[in-house]
Structure 1
């Protein structure tokens, strides 16, 4: 029987009144369908949030770069200005390494390791300059911005000078901050293909201390 309505083909051929059909009820599990629908909605919301956050970070970073371009008198020698700028740049840098809603836990090894930097800031001049140089280098690469590149190079020079002084200090030369600084400057030199200030230090009398560190 083809179970057509109002009458099946067999009843029509026989000229009979179709008695109808008895349909048994059955339970259908709609759970998988509902879960798929929820997953799609969640994925769409997460993507939208991620895109908005990413655009917000990009806009904030570009505004900061513009501020540096229009305010050349704001220098690293001014403690309060330096601290505010350092905190803002590094906060943006860490956020960029760990974008909201990213399907992966981190973007790179440096991104994972960068979480250990903020708690140490303010306790070591050499680490402050090194962290700032890497953050500026990242944004210089990301946006191709010459202002960010100059800021990165300036912070790098300050970091190398400070590192040389720290290696001459018996108390600081084996500290965790000095170790963090050497790793950060190494990343900076790889990113920007810079002539190695670290190599220069290694080839001096501080070689043994740096290796022990």
Structure 2
């Protein structure tokens, strides 16, 4: 496109110096007073490229294409002998613009299509339980507004396709799109206002980190959770009015709790106002109620790690809170009619001090979800129920470990006031109860992390096995080993074997 540069009527010298011109002719007064050579009022001709700064100010081009880096506009004078004719320049400009817009349209369609394919092949249908990644289905139907969101969608889609087809080049494209999306995100965050696409963009990048690198070997997903928390806090805890925004928040509750349990730091979602941040007409189901309890645990673990050594009053209060939460978790399991599916392929013998672990653990594939389960006959609802039970057991076991790992806390269980409270509330806290939780975790962790609609399966399984490892290390101590002797060393080996089996691909990412 050929155009006339600038809108000022001043002489070219004043315009370059960015001073006000008095428009005197043939030489302006500003140049005369400054003893500058007045270059006159004839304006130069410029070529405009859709990637140039000048052209970006236009409201007639694609908002996505304008954000890409490109060739800057070239300024030339009319006297330049190499200047193309206006007709040739217009034709060349239109051809380039058509090609670039077509290329952008193709790329956008490809990004949308690969995300739609991911949703189609990875998310279950006809389920009674809510699917954690259901927000991806809603997002796939929404028009993409920002380049960062398009790139983050492409990173997830290409990463999944690369592992499905076992193509390194496609997986590398996913990493490339991920890096580009991060660059776009940094640029977006430098703006004073938050755009609506910011939350889904960071969530998409978080999914890529979890699926591509796992929760075991990468701190990237935790970094993204901090960004998501910042966005949510800036939004505020008022009720949601947008269905997609609520779905994303609903999904993030599990991620936020996983992050809190991993870092052993209190989660902002435990604040009272966020417990009531909901979507009008949407009632909490039994898993939402579990999360309402689970979100309290990271804060209790944080307090247990940093409790003053001689503050007996604070210690007693903390023991009561931990005991109450363990009891509430158990009540949830018993009252919500959560049932385990028919499996896993080994028997649990409660009368035995050891557990029977299958010799043939579920074959591991990469962390990306798949609609086709490895074990036959297991529906999403059944598998999801098993995962939530595993999550509950892991949280309770971590609380048991916090109680018994510090003598100052475990000794509080012997105080008459606390014993009286526990007795009146019918709360039973024993080492044997924790042992039973650990056995159930070892029994079901591998089954729940199979590559069938993963929905945090591997992440929950990994954190549960780590909880079992910490408990068995604690059981090796003399004061606990004498209560009910078990071969803690042997069980530790099994735990580490399972953990290595679940995280094998972390070593090759």
Normalization by structure 1: what TM-score?
0.49
Which of the pair has the greater relative contact order for Cα pairs under 8 Å at 6+ separation? 1
